[in-house]
Structure 1
């Protein structure tokens, strides 16, 4: 008998040893109970059922998958006057064709929940949409899809209708059976039934108050029906009243329609009934952005009820409003007995600059500390520069530590040349490449990344400088370098200030003399384009780039290659530029020319950029009066803030804008202007959050598995939407439908 080699002997010994090792127990993470069939039968696998990595058995063969039945199911939820009817769905998890015990979860808890045990899922009725169902049976995982569809009806206002901040009539009462039958039946067309607001083609973000539907008709409406529909959602509301000319959409229906939207069109249909006959149908079709608006809008408000101090019978103050608020608040606490107006805000939401009472004095405020005063600017600053109107309409650097001063030509203006001024004491800072080149930069604005500045290039230091100054009709851009060595104790964050590359990107002709002036440039978040105020008719007195005394202007767009266009849809014209879609009356024949002073939300949301601007257009039949009314009477003034979506990926040469919507929450009787959009002050690690833009370190994640979201340091893996990034490759799905814009991962609509 031949002697076994040592190697062969060792191999046999090891095989014998492995044969005696027991299989992994049923409590382990990598095995399964051989008696895990729900009927008590055995579901055997090779090698005792071991699959060490959860996907393969020990001998290398793939684990039989866990399947869920049904794999896809559509659930219908009916909500009638607030009462929810929803039948549960029984899901089953199976392995090798036999049902097994499993734990169940859904990635969208707002759609519904599972029973404490078993696979029974019950929709909540809160929202519709598509959810991912996950079943886990030890190491095996299976997935399925649930589609929740909602059909909703409401007859008359509920006890708690929600909503607000949009003016007009409240929801009416219930309609009787005969009226409801007419509203649901054939309707008689009526040419005099005209839709006023909202506009066709509007893009809505999520999280706003429901809009107020406004119309005009030659018939006195005693009842209306409002029908909202999109994929998987249907709402019909019936409301009675006297001489109805406007009605809000039920807030709970609006929330379901917008948060549950799947990217398709949201259609609204309106009918009216005069007590004997139903007329209509008039319709509008909208888009819903898959995101909420971020940040806060700070704006000047004249004759606000939040300020008691008056000058020449008028009050003024700086108010702030977050999308979703019913009413604005006074930005500077205790300022109700003062006149604090004419403001600018840093992009990071840390610093507010404003003027006081006589405009000669000003101050800076720390918005991260309850708007506490940082510095009052009176008299002369160190070095001898005047503080008279200093920081007024200046271009504030993104962290608020310094600003490039606007010089001359605004309604209230700094009287000397443009310079860099430090926030801490108002002193002038040397700026190479700028001080000897540009004399008067009007309404300047730094880009979100702080590397460029744009301004109305009104006056150069001498005539030999090229390009030539535009005398109020041109926009220029310069590169900016923030030198190392800046202060860490409250002074400017840059150790030096260097400008270069003066270049003109937009110029209007010099004639006719009553138009063509430009101002108030504002950067889109990617720093590749600007929106600005383009004068169509200069006012009869005051600054040529103001909003009053008959001033007419439009919001225009220009990219860094000099390609420009009027934002036709935002301003109120049809996409091809022909005709206007805005309603008219005797006092509002050309509202597409009454749009001024844009600023841009620094954060892209839901696949769009968002522009807030001043407009004197009529707000349907709620504010149809004199567009230049100061808001001193009991009638709402049309001078208000509006918001419009801008496409991120618009093809070159096309209009990237969409029709605007009224920003909810404004006081109807106050004249509001110069909405300055800024991100909210960031939160430190450990603070609760919803998305990464709220956090100083840029990330918002679960503190423990299944726990709440808190601000945190950068975790491993990719960055989610709204979280911090340096390049697009940092973002989850980077290069696809997510892009790094202004150091935040942002969704892109292609």
Structure 2
């Protein structure tokens, strides 16, 4: 049995009570109680002359009784009750608030409720509101999540974990309780259903439209149950899904996928069940992961059927056609975008492909013609100020050796030349820190169609400007002799690239690889390619990777082109006509040497299904000014995004004491999170 005694007396009042008792004892003289009487005093009050105050003849008073005051009981423990609370919001209905009690324990093992004598605080105002008087939390219903409730008292602090869980129950069966009951109790493996998309173990960022879940093997009249759950969110949906079976997370009256992803950090379980009128079946549980950040920036891509470069903001339902074509230009392609999103460069009209540059609003900065700007694929500096261009044919600018030209973004002036003594440079890509160029070197064919190439890296110094120290880092392979389309990781330590049977993607067998910038630790990124969840030969239908230039949610993100099937929506696998679409894979930066760092990819929502989409090039958005809303510091010209009121973040030029994740840094010591790294100039806590 516990020996703890609980009191409602504030321990802070104990010294005052002791003093009052001592004073009364002094008035009683010899009759004051001793230590054994009250448990407070330490000694009997003395009665000798030396101990008793006596009045003298001159009216002065000698020293009164010397009181041995009791020691103040020490607080040795402070806690919050309950220590782990769960507040559940069902179908948007806010429940009554939850009251918390602060309890102090002193060195005499006495517990006291001290709610009114300390300070309550709460770190997640987006999920619950705090009434600091009684220490009560009321869910907002906006999001689910896990927060910490704090209570400070007498130099001590106690914390409690509080989970707010959102639960949605959606019935579209027309009240078919029998079907719902059968689905809830299903335990028979489905003999026919095959879940096609999303793939098991996919990692999703926040801020996207929800995935369309697709499967084969059902009947038109079947009733389904979709169960999705994380520690902070639960969805149970019931209803029919006629063939072809495609199911979208409900958007009205509540955007369920948005609520789910914004409420979740980490793993989701997804369970699809089917009832055919007689038997209810399970299809097995899938595990998805939600990264705790939106996919950063914008993705620019070539819409082949339109002959134009479009862009799509993650979360948008459709792409944007924004470039204003120069006079005489009918097609724009082979584009690159500066890391900061300030300048776009693209080739015009095919063939000689002279280059042109554009502002983010689509207005034209500069354009060349066939006589002055014959090019193809270009690289652009991180700040958009410089363009590396040139068509890698032996007669480019009538030079005996192959080379590329470095020019300002508004001129064809030759500021420096990148020579290649053997072979011809192709597909250049500029590192995000501005210090290196990666490029392929072909040894056959022409700038667009070739079969044999290797991967190189060269230093660039814009103070010259000069190129120096070219080095081959990846050789070709007899089975995949074309090494092309390099792209730099956010930390400038890795390159992703393609290995294929030819440079032109139509009809090529292509795989995605990664390698360190010095050529060490090459690894095929199997999960991104689809191994284990995509049938052959679709694992060799992946091309043209580009990294998103910053880390978000603890992952690198890689955009690429694939001709694989997309669920039961795009199923054509004819080599000559299969559809090219953009896919995205999460890359775990901390994967060990030789370990595949990728995860199963997801189809980029919002792109057009009836178009061939290529060259998905990721860049940051044009930076925002002070006072504009932001999601992270990389949205801001100042580099800092701060919370100005609960749930509201704006760009600021006030350098904080430390940088939260996503805000600017020079070293990891600048970051608030002691486990964060400084990658690409921004704080981030890596996952995986």
Write the deviation string for residues 606-644 of structure 1: whole angstroms up to 9, x where unpaired: 1111000000000010111245566xxxxxx63110000
For 2:336, the equivalent position in structure 1 comes to 344
Aligned partner of 1:387 among 354, 367, 373: 373
Q: Are the aligned partners of 1:65 and 1:142 in contact in 2 as well (CA < 8 Å)?
A: no
Write the deviation string for residues 172-230 of structure 1: whole angstroms up to 9, x where unpaired: x6451122122122344333211111111111112222211111116445221111123
Call closer, same or farther: CA 1:150–1:417 in 2, change over 3 Å: same
Call closer, same or farther: CA 1:408–1:273 in 2, change over 3 Å: farther
Separation in structure 1 between the aligned mates of residue 183 and residue 93 of structure 2, nearest angstrom: 24
2:686 pairs with 1:748 = yes
1:400 shift after superposition: 1.3
1:733 shift after superposition: 3.2
Q: Secondary structure at the match of 2:539?
A: helix
Q: TM-score, normalized by length of structure 2? A: 0.80
Separation in structure 2 between the aligned mates of residue 402 and residue 42 of structure 1, nearest angstrom: 69
Moved more, 113-122 or 217-226: 113-122
For 1:245, the equivalent position in structure 2 comes to 245
2:286 pairs with 1:321 = no
Q: Secondary structure at the match of 2:634?
A: helix
Q: How does 1:457-472 map to 2 (within 5 A)?
A: 457-458=441-442, 472=452
1:471 shift after superposition: 8.1
1:708 shift after superposition: 4.5
2:97 pairs with 1:88 = yes
For 1:497, the equivalent position in structure 2 comes to 465
Q: Secondary structure at the match of 2:657?
A: coil
Separation in structure 1 between the aligned mates of residue 210 and residue 393 of structure 2, nearest angstrom: 40
2:389 pairs with 1:405 = yes
Q: Are the aligned partners of 1:174 and 1:240 in contact in 2 as well (CA < 8 Å)?
A: no
1:648 shift after superposition: 0.4
Question: What do you get for the CA RMSD once the two structures are aligned?
Answer: 3.6
Call closer, same or farther: CA 1:437–1:685 in 2, change over 3 Å: farther
For 1:270, the equivalent position in structure 2 comes to 272
Call closer, same or farther: CA 1:62–1:322 in 2, change over 3 Å: farther
Write the deviation string for residues 78-104 of structure 1: whole angstroms up to 9, x where unpaired: 42xx34252320124567644416775
Write the deviation string for residues 294-349 of structure 1: whole angstroms up to 9, x where unpaired: 1100001133xxxxxxxxxxx32211111111111113268999533331111110
Call closer, same or farther: CA 1:694–1:44 in 2, change over 3 Å: farther
1:117 shift after superposition: 5.5
Q: Are the aligned partners of 1:407 and 1:413 in contact in 2 as well (CA < 8 Å)?
A: no
Q: Secondary structure at the match of 1:181?
A: helix
Separation in structure 2 between the aligned mates of residue 516 and residue 473 of structure 1, nearest angstrom: 7
Aligned partner of 1:715 among 646, 649, 655: 655
Moved more, 320-329 or 353-362: 353-362
Separation in structure 2 between the aligned mates of residue 106 and residue 350 of structure 1, nearest angstrom: 40
**Which residues of structure 1 form unaligned runs of 5+?**
1-36, 47-60, 157-172, 304-314, 381-385, 461-469, 484-495, 538-543, 575-580, 584-588, 631-636
Aligned partner of 2:263 among 260, 264, 274: 260
For 1:553, the equivalent position in structure 2 comes to 510
Separation in structure 2 between the aligned mates of residue 247 and residue 475 of structure 1, nearest angstrom: 43
Call closer, same or farther: CA 1:102–1:155 in 2, change over 3 Å: farther
Q: Are the aligned partners of 1:66 and 1:141 in contact in 2 as well (CA < 8 Å)?
A: no
Separation in structure 2 between the aligned mates of residue 105 and residue 244 of structure 1, nearest angstrom: 51
For 2:484, the equivalent position in structure 1 comes to 519
Q: Are the aligned partners of 1:221 and 1:273 in contact in 2 as well (CA < 8 Å)?
A: no
For 1:529, the equivalent position in structure 2 comes to 494
Separation in structure 2 between the aligned mates of residue 78 and residue 436 of structure 1, nearest angstrom: 64
1:701 shift after superposition: 1.9
Q: How does 1:256-335 map to 2 (within 5 A)?
A: 256-263=259-266, 265-303=267-305, 315-332=306-323
Count of equivalent residues? 609
1:283 shift after superposition: 2.7
For 2:81, the equivalent position in structure 1 comes to 70
Q: Are the aligned partners of 1:77 and 1:84 in contact in 2 as well (CA < 8 Å)?
A: no
For 1:30, the equivalent position in structure 2 comes to none
Q: How does 1:224-235 map to 2 (within 5 A)?
A: 224-235=224-235
Write the deviation string for residues 550-575 of structure 1: whole angstroms up to 9, x where unpaired: 2221111111243212111110113x
For 2:367, the equivalent position in structure 1 comes to 376
Q: Are the aligned partners of 1:67 and 1:143 in contact in 2 as well (CA < 8 Å)?
A: no
Q: Are the aligned partners of 2:86 and 2:164 in contact in 1 as well (CA < 8 Å)?
A: yes
Call closer, same or farther: CA 1:627–1:597 in 2, change over 3 Å: farther
Call closer, same or farther: CA 1:124–1:334 in 2, change over 3 Å: farther
**Which residues of structure 2 form unaligned runs of 5+?**
1-6, 17-71, 105-111, 445-449
Aligned partner of 1:474 among 454, 465, 483: 454
Larger CA Rg, structure 1 vs 2: 2
Call closer, same or farther: CA 1:707–1:137 in 2, change over 3 Å: farther
Separation in structure 1 between the aligned mates of residue 628 and residue 574 of structure 2, nearest angstrom: 45
Call closer, same or farther: CA 1:112–1:482 in 2, change over 3 Å: same
Aligned partner of 2:570 among 620, 623, 628: 623
Q: Secondary structure at the match of 2:93?
A: strand
Q: TM-score, normalized by length of structure 1? A: 0.74
Aligned partner of 1:658 among 587, 599, 603: 599
1:741 shift after superposition: 1.0
For 2:560, the equivalent position in structure 1 comes to 613
1:693 shift after superposition: 0.9
For 1:366, the equivalent position in structure 2 comes to 359
2:429 pairs with 1:445 = yes
1:652 shift after superposition: 0.3
